[in-house]
Amino acid sequence: MKMNNSPVGDCFLETSVPRQMLFGHSLIKKEIRKSLGHCTQRWSSFYVLMEYKRSVVKTLIDLYFVAKEEKTPSDALHYFQEGFRTRQNKIILSAIATLLEDSEIANDKSRFLVKLETLVLGSLQFFQDLIDQYIENKTGCSLGKTLIQQGIPTEEAYRRFLEEIDCVKSCSLEKFLRSKKNQLKRLIGEGEKAPHDRNKGFQEALSLIKSAIETLDTLKSKTNCMKVGDIIIALELPKRQQLLTFDRGFESSCQILGKKIFVLSSLARLRKSRPSTPQPT
């Protein structure tokens, strides 16, 4: 189910929303603020928080250590961009690149590192301030609770965070998926039909679900858990809440499972719908 104009009631924010609100284009941020204004309460999950910390906080910390090794901030960002090509990382790195437009930061390694430290702590606080409540942690994901320890040297605190945010498969994901096995089979069956068979993002996750449906234990690995993340989020989403997302891959899973969804407009669409600026006569 998709609302045409705005979300209503309690909203569930998946990972793309806080990430875009923090690092996205000004039009995207405006679109999010407008939509959140229609939400009664803003919900999320510890699984989403884990995804956010792995895609945002970990990226910033990884960049920090690269910047410590390289001669200039520009060198660090160039090297880092070559190694990270996912859409999620690029959103963050594009925002970081704007910092280097300030020549004082671009040529001052110490100031750049301080700015990154501020962004790391700010990104953690941002998510906490954005969310009103969390749903029950049925996946048992403890990584969302990983924090940066205070009162110790920054580099040591960052290294501990990177160690703790690395999955050790101590969650209850397999048990959670087994409890949702009928819904997984429904996703597989309905997912082969139009229009879901043409939803690329949905199909990529579904193919992994298909291969693991009999045992489900292989989905507990760090790599596979992240690959099927959208389906995990759709499964844990309470029916009374409406998913707020930029990711159209959720359209299929939510429709099949009977969950409510509101897909926010893309930057391309927002630019196209923006009123044209009158030309001088």
What secondary structure, in 3-state letters, does the chain show? CECCCCCCEEEEECCHHHHHHHHCCHHHHHHHHHHHCCEEEEEECHHHHHHHHHHHHHHHHHHHHHHHHCCCHHHHHHHHHHHCCCHHHHHHHHHHHHHCCCHHHHCCHHHHHHHHHHHHHHHHHHHHHHCCEECCCCCCCCHHHCCCCCCCCHHHHHHHHHHHHCCCCCCCHHHHHHHCHHHHHHHHHHHCCCCHHHCHHHHHHHHHHHHHCCCCHHHHCHHHHHHCHHHHHHHHCCCCCEEEECCCHHHHHHHHHCCEEEECCCHHHHHHHCCCCCCCC
pLDDT of residue 103: 77
Q: What is the pTM of this model?
A: 0.91
Joined together, the tokens standing for residue 135 give 């749903």
Joined together, the tokens standing for residue 97 give 């690149």
User: pLDDT (tens digit, 0 to 9) for every residue of the chain, 281 residues total?
Assistant: 444 478 889 999 999 999 999 999 999 999 999 999 999 999 999 999 999 999 899 999 999 999 999 999 988 888 887 776 566 577 788 788 887 887 788 888 999 999 999 999 999 999 999 999 999 999 999 888 899 999 999 999 999 999 999 877 678 999 999 999 999 999 999 999 999 999 999 999 999 999 999 888 888 888 899 899 999 999 999 999 999 999 999 999 999 999 999 999 999 999 998 776 655 55
Quick one: which of 152, 124, 1 has its CA closest to 57?
124
Quick one: which of 6, 21, 25 has its CA closest to 52?
21
pLDDT of residue 88: 59
pLDDT of residue 90: 75
pLDDT of residue 102: 79
pLDDT of residue 98: 80
pLDDT of residue 2: 43
